[in-house]
Amino acid sequence: MRLLILGGTGPCGLQLIEQALALNHTLVLYLRSPQKLPETITKNPAVHVVEGQLTDKEKLLEAMDGVHAVLSALGPAVKNGPFHPGNTPLAQAYVLLIDVMKQRNVKRLLLLGTASMKDEHDKFSVQFTLLVSGVAVFAHNAYKDVVAIGQTVRAAEEDLIWTIARVPILTEKPEKDFVAGYVGDGKIGTRLSRAAFAAFMLKELESNEWCRKAPLISSP
């Protein structure tokens, strides 16, 4: 497939790129700072780089040409913590992205989310209540943006086939095994390797098991 990847310079995005290339996908990387990626990626013949901002509709339209699906690893930068902008910039980017996808007739969107995006299938969990409450208090603007992303995607027209891969605390472990479910279901934990996040995204791209759903993914 020809895949458009957003957030490719972050640690989750790098995992997506590397695993997608290993599966012989052709990639379009939409990047604000292409120089952050190693030349082993940017010079790969299966990779096409488009430089642009998340607010640049014309550049997004260019990047979306001929794409079969969009995979997004966009999320608030951890280093920004409480200094994330208060105007929900990522949610606004998804509004534009979904509009561009519609114009280019691209219907499949898989994206990174967190447990802050509540789901009707979630049950009570002390661990996740504490995790989400901590983010809401100490990184409120980031929390607000993430919640708004979920609302934006869920409100999209029915022809958009989305999957939100909600993640707990991310780790650098190399294991790619994962379980998918919902908060409080007895099988979901509070840790997930970034490698396993990417593995879930690429498996879901093929299986379409979680269309228009927002499972929480964790390591077994």
Q: Map residue 204 onto helix, strand or coil.
A: helix
Below-50 pLDDT ranges, the chain: none
Q: What is the pLDDT of residue 81?
A: 77
* Positions of E strands within 52-197: 69-72, 108-114, 161-167, 169-171, 179-181, 191-193
Q: What is the pLDDT of residue 192?
A: 99
Which residue in the block uniquely carries the two structure tokens 């279901």? 185
CA angle 18, 75, 166 (to 5 degrees): 80
Instruction: Answer yes or no: are the C-beta atoms of 172 and 12 closer than 8 Å.
Output: no
Q: Map residue 129 onto helix, strand or coil.
A: helix
| Maximal C-alpha separation, the chain | 48
Q: What is the pLDDT of residue 80?
A: 81
Question: What are 112's strand-pairing partners?
Answer: 165
Q: What is the pLDDT of residue 120?
A: 97
Q: What is the pLDDT of residue 78?
A: 76
Cα separation, 82 vs 87, in Å, equals 13
Nearest to 26 by CA among 7, 49, 52: 49
Q: Where are the domains of the chain?
A: 2-218
Instruction: Answer yes or no: are the C-beta atoms of 167 and 128 closer than 8 Å.
Output: no
Nearest to 50 by CA among 77, 32, 24, 68: 32
CA 177 to chain CA centroid, nearest Å? 18
Please state whether the predicted TM-score (pTM) of the whole model is above 0.75: yes
Length of the chain: 220
Torsion of the alpha carbons at 143, 81, 112 and 117, rounded to the nearest 10: -20
Span 60-69, pLDDT tens digits: 999 999 999 9
- Cα atoms found within 13 Å of the Cα of residue 169, Cβ hemisphere only: 10
Which token pair is 95?
A: 């509004």
Please state which of the four CATH numbers 3.40.710.10, 3.40.50.800, 3.40.50.720, 3.40.50.2300 is assigned to the domain occupying 2-218: 3.40.50.720
